[in-house]
Amino acid sequence: MDFALTSEQRRRDEELDAAIRDRLGDNRPFAADQHFTRERWRAAAELGLTGLCLPAEHGGQALGALDTALCLETFGRACPDTGLVFGVAAHLLACAVAVRDFATDEVAARLLPRLANGEVIAANAITEDDAGSDTGALGMKAVGTRDGYRLTGEKSFSSNAPLADVFVVYAVTDPAAGFLGTTGFLVDRDLAGVEVGPPLVKAGLHGCPAGRLTLTDTLVAHDRVLGEPGQGSVIFQHSMGWERACLFAIYLGLMDVQLRSCVRHARRRRQFGSRIGDFQAVAHPIAEMRQRLDSARLLLLRACWLIDNGRNAVTETSLAKIAVSEAAIANGLAAVQVFGGSGYLAETGVEAQLRDALPSRIFSGTNEIHRTLVARGMGL
């Protein structure tokens, strides 16, 4: 077993880190409405970040899950706008991966280059008001016709939606078929009957706008069906496998920066005539931050390695998702405490790291659902 990065991985990390700091290292959104702009999205695309795991012949970098995760870790470390990082990762993993693996060759050849080069922004839309964790309870219906499918219904929480050009939408095509009754569709924003709501006001990830998506009798052509009719749940689980493994690497990068800033602060800040880091009450929580970060990182890299090697990674991906998200929140809380009052001020960015970490236990399947999957994986 080799824990060392290859020289190629180290070189890519150094170059990417420097390029991201140069192009996107300046801006941390303070306000809930400071979403990413097309220019910032294009900058991320020019660095190859919107196409990390897309095929080279379609403008991507053809990276596997592990290398994609390493690049996203670098992105999360070097770019303080975690919302933008999250938006790019969701576009790539929840949407472009589904197109890469399930669109027709013609649609993939047309769409993947534009997803990779930043021209087209994608949003994933499955969640509804009455179907969150229970993705088997979707209310959005798709009725087959000669010209395509007519989709009607409302999605309640879609990251990137307010700026997205295309949506990966899941709708029920056969209510009686259960797991096999859901179908995935590519829905262009400019189709008749597509309505995107205003950005939702969130606690964090301000850089990434999220919104509702309403479809009213929207006609989606047959060639925009992902995979086969009825394959939607499988496609969703497939893209979520990539998202749960790779997207969470952005939080490894965030925790890395956070840990370094805590160490720096604990070495510089003096109270009672000592560096606060000399107090065990400050040093031990920082040691625990390191322990949580390192163990979460190992679980995440293992999950990616399993995906790259074609192994079943359901349990390991859930374990990684739980570990990274819980580490990100625990470390975010610890960092605020290490920084004291200044950690509560927006100008330090410490409180923003905690707010940006908060939803990580919820999206890509809640941690409660993932614990259930882990338990099932052990035969419970």
Ligand X SMILES: Cc1cc2nc3c(=O)[nH]c(=O)nc-3n(C[C@H](O)[C@H](O)[C@H](O)COP(=O)(O)OP(=O)(O)OC[C@H]3O[C@@H](n4cnc5c(N)ncnc54)[C@H](O)[C@@H]3O)c2cc1C
Give the nearest distance from C-beta 153 to ligand X in angstroms: 12
Alpha helices in the chain (DSSP H): 7-24, 38-46, 65-78, 82-90, 97-102, 105-116, 232-242, 249-268, 280-308, 314-339, 350-357, 367-377
Query: Per residue in 110-127, is it b (16+ CB within 10 Å) or e — as a string?
Result: ebbbbbbbbbbbbbbbbb
Q: Which C-beta is closer to ligand X: that of 66 or that of 168?
A: 168
Residues 288 and 323 sit within 8 Å (Cβ to Cβ): no
Number of residues that bind ligand X (CB under 6 A): 19
243 is catalytic: yes
Which residues sit opposite 125 in a β-bridge?
169
Q: Which C-beta is closer to ligand X: that of 157 or that of 242?
A: 157
Does residue number 124 form part of the binding site for ligand X (CB under 6 A)?
yes
Residues 226 and 98 sit within 8 Å (Cβ to Cβ): yes
**Nearest residue to ligand X, using CB?**
132
Window contacting ligand X (CB under 6 A); options: 124-132, 177-185, 278-286, 339-347: 124-132
Cα gap 359→62, rounded to integer Å: 29
Find, among 69, 88, 9, the residue nearest to 296 by Cα.
Answer: 69
Window contacting ligand X (CB under 6 A); options: 61-69, 102-110, 152-160, 224-232: 152-160
Find, among 105, 98, 78, 95, the residue nearest to 19 by Cα.
Answer: 78
Does residue number 87 form part of the binding site for ligand X (CB under 6 A)?
no
Q: Which C-beta is closer to ligand X: that of 127 or that of 261?
A: 127
How far separated are the first and last CA of the chain, in Å rounded?
31
> Which of 74, 82, 159, 239 is in the footprint of ligand X by CB under 6 A?
159
Give the nearest distance from C-beta 369 to ligand X in angstroms: 6
From 243, 316, 351, 368, the catalytic residue: 243
Structure tokens at 165: 């050009």
> Which of 45, 79, 89, 90 is in the footprint of ligand X by CB under 6 A?
90
Give the nearest distance from C-beta 79 to ligand X in angstroms: 17
Find, among 266, 297, 299, the residue nearest to 284 by Cα.
Answer: 266
Q: Which C-beta is closer to ligand X: that of 265 or that of 361?
A: 361
Give the nearest distance from C-beta 90 to ligand X in angstroms: 5
Q: Which residues are catalytic?
A: 243
List contacts with ligand X (CB under 6 A).
Answer: 90, 124-127, 132-133, 157-159, 205, 210, 359, 362-363, 366, 368-369, 372
